[in-house]
Structure 1
Amino acid sequence: MNAIKTARKSIEAQPGSGTSRTLARLVLALESEGSFDVADLDTLPPDSFALALKIVREWRRNSRYAGKAKLFDLSLQVSMLPN
Protein backbone atom coordinates (compact mmCIF):
# COMPACT_ATOMS: atom_id res chain seq x y z
CA MET A 1 0.00 0.00 0.00
CA ASN A 2 1.35 3.44 -0.80
CA ALA A 3 2.09 6.00 1.90
CA ILE A 4 -0.69 8.39 0.91
CA LYS A 5 -3.32 5.66 1.19
CA THR A 6 -1.78 4.35 4.43
CA ALA A 7 -1.86 7.85 5.93
CA ARG A 8 -5.49 8.35 4.92
CA LYS A 9 -6.51 5.06 6.56
CA SER A 10 -4.50 5.88 9.69
CA ILE A 11 -6.07 9.33 10.01
CA GLU A 12 -9.56 7.93 9.38
CA ALA A 13 -9.05 5.33 12.11
CA GLN A 14 -8.04 7.88 14.78
CA PRO A 15 -8.73 11.42 13.55
CA GLY A 16 -8.30 13.03 16.97
CA SER A 17 -4.94 11.50 17.85
CA GLY A 18 -1.79 13.58 18.02
CA THR A 19 -0.23 11.47 15.30
CA SER A 20 -3.18 12.02 12.96
CA ARG A 21 -3.15 15.73 13.62
CA THR A 22 0.58 15.96 12.88
CA LEU A 23 0.23 13.96 9.67
CA ALA A 24 -2.75 16.10 8.67
CA ARG A 25 -0.76 19.31 9.25
CA LEU A 26 2.05 17.89 7.13
CA VAL A 27 -0.35 17.09 4.28
CA LEU A 28 -1.97 20.52 4.46
CA ALA A 29 1.45 22.18 4.33
CA LEU A 30 2.50 20.07 1.35
CA GLU A 31 -0.69 20.80 -0.57
CA SER A 32 -0.72 24.53 0.17
CA GLU A 33 3.06 24.88 -0.08
CA GLY A 34 2.87 26.32 3.42
CA SER A 35 5.18 25.94 6.36
CA PHE A 36 5.48 22.92 8.63
CA ASP A 37 7.61 22.71 11.75
CA VAL A 38 9.77 19.65 11.12
CA ALA A 39 10.39 19.38 14.87
CA ASP A 40 6.80 18.09 15.06
CA LEU A 41 7.96 14.96 13.24
CA ASP A 42 10.13 14.13 16.25
CA THR A 43 6.98 13.67 18.34
CA LEU A 44 5.77 10.85 16.10
CA PRO A 45 6.28 7.18 16.91
CA PRO A 46 8.97 5.59 14.70
CA ASP A 47 6.50 3.96 12.28
CA SER A 48 4.57 7.21 11.82
CA PHE A 49 7.81 9.15 11.39
CA ALA A 50 8.78 6.78 8.58
CA LEU A 51 5.30 7.18 7.09
CA ALA A 52 5.66 10.98 7.14
CA LEU A 53 8.92 10.76 5.21
CA LYS A 54 7.30 8.43 2.67
CA ILE A 55 4.40 10.89 2.28
CA VAL A 56 6.85 13.67 1.41
CA ARG A 57 8.61 11.46 -1.15
CA GLU A 58 5.34 10.35 -2.76
CA TRP A 59 3.93 13.88 -2.74
CA ARG A 60 6.87 15.09 -4.81
CA ARG A 61 6.58 12.21 -7.27
CA ASN A 62 2.82 12.09 -7.73
CA SER A 63 1.69 15.60 -8.50
CA ARG A 64 -1.57 14.39 -10.07
CA TYR A 65 -2.31 11.34 -7.95
CA ALA A 66 -6.03 11.15 -7.10
CA GLY A 67 -5.40 9.75 -3.63
CA LYS A 68 -3.79 13.02 -2.64
CA ALA A 69 -7.14 14.79 -2.98
CA LYS A 70 -8.82 12.33 -0.60
CA LEU A 71 -6.01 12.65 1.94
CA PHE A 72 -6.02 16.45 1.64
CA ASP A 73 -9.78 16.59 2.23
CA LEU A 74 -9.53 14.31 5.28
CA SER A 75 -6.58 16.31 6.63
CA LEU A 76 -8.58 19.51 6.29
CA GLN A 77 -11.43 17.94 8.27
CA VAL A 78 -9.04 16.77 11.01
CA SER A 79 -7.49 20.23 11.27
CA MET A 80 -10.94 21.62 12.10
CA LEU A 81 -11.58 19.20 14.99
CA PRO A 82 -11.67 20.82 18.42
CA ASN A 83 -8.64 20.17 20.61
Structure 2
Amino acid sequence: MIALKKARKLIQADPETPSAKVLSALVIALESNQAFPLNQLYTLSYPQFELALEILAEWRLDRYYSSKGRLLDLSVHAAELQTA
Protein backbone atom coordinates (compact mmCIF):
# COMPACT_ATOMS: atom_id res chain seq x y z
CA MET A 1 0.00 0.00 0.00
CA ILE A 2 2.57 2.47 -1.19
CA ALA A 3 0.12 5.20 -2.25
CA LEU A 4 -1.46 5.33 1.19
CA LYS A 5 1.95 5.80 2.79
CA LYS A 6 2.90 8.47 0.23
CA ALA A 7 -0.34 10.34 0.87
CA ARG A 8 0.12 10.10 4.64
CA LYS A 9 3.62 11.57 4.35
CA LEU A 10 2.45 14.35 2.03
CA ILE A 11 -0.41 15.32 4.34
CA GLN A 12 1.72 15.01 7.44
CA ALA A 13 4.47 17.22 6.00
CA ASP A 14 2.12 20.19 5.54
CA PRO A 15 -1.62 19.65 6.01
CA GLU A 16 -2.36 23.23 4.93
CA THR A 17 -1.23 22.82 1.31
CA PRO A 18 -3.98 22.66 -1.31
CA SER A 19 -2.87 19.19 -2.40
CA ALA A 20 -2.94 17.87 1.18
CA LYS A 21 -6.45 19.28 1.60
CA VAL A 22 -7.69 17.62 -1.61
CA LEU A 23 -6.13 14.25 -0.75
CA SER A 24 -7.50 14.46 2.81
CA ALA A 25 -10.97 15.19 1.47
CA LEU A 26 -10.68 12.25 -0.93
CA VAL A 27 -9.71 9.87 1.87
CA ILE A 28 -12.53 11.09 4.10
CA ALA A 29 -15.04 10.72 1.26
CA LEU A 30 -13.86 7.19 0.52
CA GLU A 31 -14.09 6.10 4.13
CA SER A 32 -17.45 7.69 4.80
CA ASN A 33 -19.02 6.75 1.46
CA GLN A 34 -19.69 10.41 0.78
CA ALA A 35 -19.63 12.19 -2.55
CA PHE A 36 -16.35 13.72 -3.68
CA PRO A 37 -16.22 16.43 -6.36
CA LEU A 38 -13.93 14.95 -8.99
CA ASN A 39 -13.04 18.38 -10.35
CA GLN A 40 -10.92 18.84 -7.20
CA LEU A 41 -8.55 16.20 -8.55
CA TYR A 42 -7.77 18.47 -11.50
CA THR A 43 -6.31 21.06 -9.13
CA LEU A 44 -3.52 18.62 -8.27
CA SER A 45 -0.21 18.49 -10.07
CA TYR A 46 0.08 15.49 -12.37
CA PRO A 47 2.17 13.39 -9.90
CA GLN A 48 -0.33 14.15 -7.14
CA PHE A 49 -3.21 13.34 -9.49
CA GLU A 50 -1.57 9.97 -10.17
CA LEU A 51 -1.21 9.50 -6.41
CA ALA A 52 -4.94 10.13 -6.00
CA LEU A 53 -5.66 7.47 -8.64
CA GLU A 54 -3.34 5.05 -6.85
CA ILE A 55 -5.17 5.75 -3.58
CA LEU A 56 -8.46 4.88 -5.29
CA ALA A 57 -7.01 1.63 -6.62
CA GLU A 58 -5.48 0.63 -3.30
CA TRP A 59 -8.61 1.59 -1.38
CA ARG A 60 -10.68 -0.64 -3.60
CA LEU A 61 -8.26 -3.55 -3.22
CA ASP A 62 -7.99 -3.51 0.53
CA ARG A 63 -10.56 -1.59 2.53
CA TYR A 64 -9.28 -2.85 5.86
CA TYR A 65 -5.55 -2.23 5.57
CA SER A 66 -4.01 -0.70 8.70
CA SER A 67 -2.31 2.16 6.84
CA LYS A 68 -5.72 3.35 5.78
CA GLY A 69 -6.71 3.92 9.39
CA ARG A 70 -3.64 6.04 10.10
CA LEU A 71 -4.17 8.00 6.90
CA LEU A 72 -7.84 8.55 7.74
CA ASP A 73 -6.96 9.85 11.22
CA LEU A 74 -4.46 12.26 9.74
CA SER A 75 -6.91 13.37 7.05
CA VAL A 76 -9.63 14.06 9.61
CA HIS A 77 -7.14 16.07 11.66
CA ALA A 78 -6.13 18.06 8.57
CA ALA A 79 -9.80 18.71 7.75
CA GLU A 80 -10.39 19.96 11.30
CA LEU A 81 -7.51 22.41 10.86
CA GLN A 82 -9.30 23.83 7.82
CA THR A 83 -12.45 24.59 9.79
CA ALA A 84 -10.65 26.13 12.74
Structure-1-length-normalised TM-score = 0.96
Task: Quote the sequence identity (%).
Answer: 42
Q: Distance in 1 between matches of 2:82 and 2:52?
A: 23
Report the counterpart of residue 59 of structure 1 in structure 2: 59
Q: Which structure 1 residue ranges, 4+ long, deviate > 4 Å from structure 2? A: none
Structure 2 portions without partners, runs of 5+: none
Q: How large is the RMSD of aligned CA atoms in angstroms? A: 1.1
Structure 1 portions without partners, runs of 5+: none
Post-superposition Cα deviations, 1:13-68, rounded to whole Å, max 9, x if no partner, equal 11100000000000000000001000000000011000000000000001110000
Structure-2-length-normalised TM-score = 0.95
Are 2:50 and 1:50 equivalent residues in the alignment? yes
Are 2:77 and 1:77 equivalent residues in the alignment? yes
Number of residue pairs aligned between Structure 1 and Structure 2: 83
Q: Distance in 2 between matches of 1:63 and 1:73?
A: 15
